[in-house]
Amino acid sequence: MSLIDRRRVVVTGAGGFIGHHLVKRLKADGHWVRGVDLHVPEFERSPADEFLLLDLRREDDCQTAVHHVEDVYQLAADMGGIGYITSVHASLTRNNVLINAHMLEASANARVDRYLYTSSACVYAAEAQNSAEIAPLKESAALPANPEKGYGWEKLFSEQLTTYYHEERDLDARIVRFHNIYGPLAAYEGGREKAPAAICRKVAEAEDGNGIEVWGDGHQTRSFCYIDDCVEGITRIMESGFTSPLNLGTDEMVSVDELVDLATRIGRKQLHKIHQLSKPQGVRGRNSDNTLLQRTLGWAPEISLASGLARTYSWVWAELKKAGRARPPIPSESFVTPLEAPAAAPGSVG
């Protein structure tokens, strides 16, 4: 990369899972990176050129965050797994509206070159997700609006606000809708963890032959996108010049029970499921339609759930082992499903 191509960028939410991985990718690509968050990354040191502890609910902190940068990757958000986002609608919505409104105003005033806002599949209308056999969700399905309570409404509102800044304040904006991003370095306990990491933790801690708790009846469906594909997609979307919302996820839909079965095969354990019907389980079905993404980028996420979950399980198991909580057997360095095996080289994880 030449000095002309090297850009000054800020990643907000850089202390979080996706933000931390994005900082690593942008540094590897040769850019100067400022990380911003309320806290530093939990599991490893940030490689950012500078890391500022700022509260982006404050307008002056947003001005500091975007000072003398060309690109803004706005990942900062109050968020977590289904248990968390369904329990704090008021504070979560307020926090995120403040963050996004102040970041947009500060970025427009600073006349940054490009701005990327990270939204969520939670913006999609509930009536389009009331079956486990849901059709993949096209970007246009977000309107007319009836998103998930709290988090979904806030994300959809902030998408609209980003669009208004693009139309009226000449902010060159991108909007990406994440579909269940997972992988190493994600929270796996504490209340903000999402399904893949939570299930990996439960399997890793379980004695072979015991049971593990599964929220809901296990028939609810989702697609899951591995972090490496997510970061690749973010960088491609920023470079694309495309200013309307784009899904970023896989179209490999599985039920929660199937996700648990995959994790137990990876962990080489025999475990029975204990379904908790009183626990939050979100919409009945959700899957990503990648037609527009592929048409726009000539690319779509490539890493299979089996491969990505194997990497995630190995990392979670190793973290739990440090605390004496992981139960045998030690994870294999590779895992392939029968469908993957013929095309995979020996020892490959996809």
Q: Which residues are catalytic?
A: 151
CB atoms within 10 A of CB 258: 14
List the beta bridge partners of residue 177: 119, 247
Q: Tokens in use for 49? A: 């050129």
In eight-state DSSP terms, residue 15 is T
* CA 60/CA 62 separation, integer angstroms: 5
Q: Tokens in use for 76? A: 């900062």
Residues 125, 146 contacting (CB under 8 angstroms): yes
Q: Measure Cα distances from 281 to 88, 130, 137, 222, 259 in Å.
A: 15, 12, 19, 11, 14
Alpha-helix runs per DSSP H in 206-267: 227-240, 256-266
Residues 237, 176 contacting (CB under 8 angstroms): yes
Torsion of CA 163, 169, 174, 177, to 10 degrees: -30
Residues 189, 204 contacting (CB under 8 angstroms): no
